Amino acid sequence: MRAALESLLRARKLDVTLTSMPGQEPVAPDRLAAMGDADLDTSLGGGLRRGHLSEITGAPSSGRTTVMTRALAAAADRGEAVALVDACDTFDPASAAAQGLDLSRLLWVRESGDAPRALKAFSLVLQAGGFGLVVLDLADVASQALRRFPWYTTTSTWMRIARIVEGRDTVALLVGAERIARSAGGVTVALESSPARWYGASSRARLFTGVRPAPRVVRARS
């Protein structure tokens, strides 16, 4: 029965998105996009899979923006054009540049909290092609707003997004406070909340030095 279903899916050109599972066959190095963090890339087997939809999830101060920015910087360092659809206009170019992101290779699409418009922009950028990494940052969209957002819970919508990048050199990446979607060959990089790092001798003279992301990679079961 399973073989027959897979045969039908392949006949309708849905095989890669729906029937391919990680671990069934080795991934060529040129089909992986390193995220710029040695430990994380090791856990990923070399990086995120090109032609797939993956996601970064985590609470505020978990390091999700840091991981996203490192991934954008790593792609730009490889000479790739990158794009960020910023749903709530929270991206800070100066901080990103300080982390090594070449802003001349970044397309920054700014939105003021309208999640449907942001998702539409994400889809259009993916369809345009030519980008190594395209990110949709929904992390600061309120959970209640996301749950009222029709496309958020519509599986077919995310399947369509996955189909746009299928077979391409592009990585499609979502960033959110909770899990949203991924394709069969994509992963969820779940960030655990970690204590903030401070420097100083007293509580009134301490300086904030950042957070240390603690990612956990979640894959689809084979």
pLDDT average per 10 residues of sequence, the chain (222 residues): 54 42 68 95 95 94 92 98 96 95 98 90 96 96 70 68 95 94 92 64 56 70 44
CATH superfamily, domain at 2-219: P-loop containing nucleotide triphosphate hydrolases (3.40.50.300)
Question: How many alpha carbons fall within 13 Å on the CB side of residue 9?
Answer: 13
What is the rounded CA–CA span in Å between residue 178 and residue 165?
Answer: 22
Which distant-in-sequence residues (6+ apart) come within 8 Å of 59 by Cβ? 177, 191, 193
In single-letter form, the type of residue at position 34 comes to: A
Looking at residue 21, what is its pLDDT? 43
pTM, rounded to two decimals:
0.80
Looking at residue 35, what is its pLDDT? 96
**Looking up tokens 């749903």, which residue turns up?**
87
Looking at residue 217, what is its pLDDT? 80
Q: Based on C-alpha coordinates, what's the Rg of the chain?
A: 18
Looking at residue 151, what is its pLDDT? 52
In 53-197, alpha helices (H):
64-77, 93-98, 115-128, 143-147, 155-165
Looking at residue 162, what is its pLDDT? 93
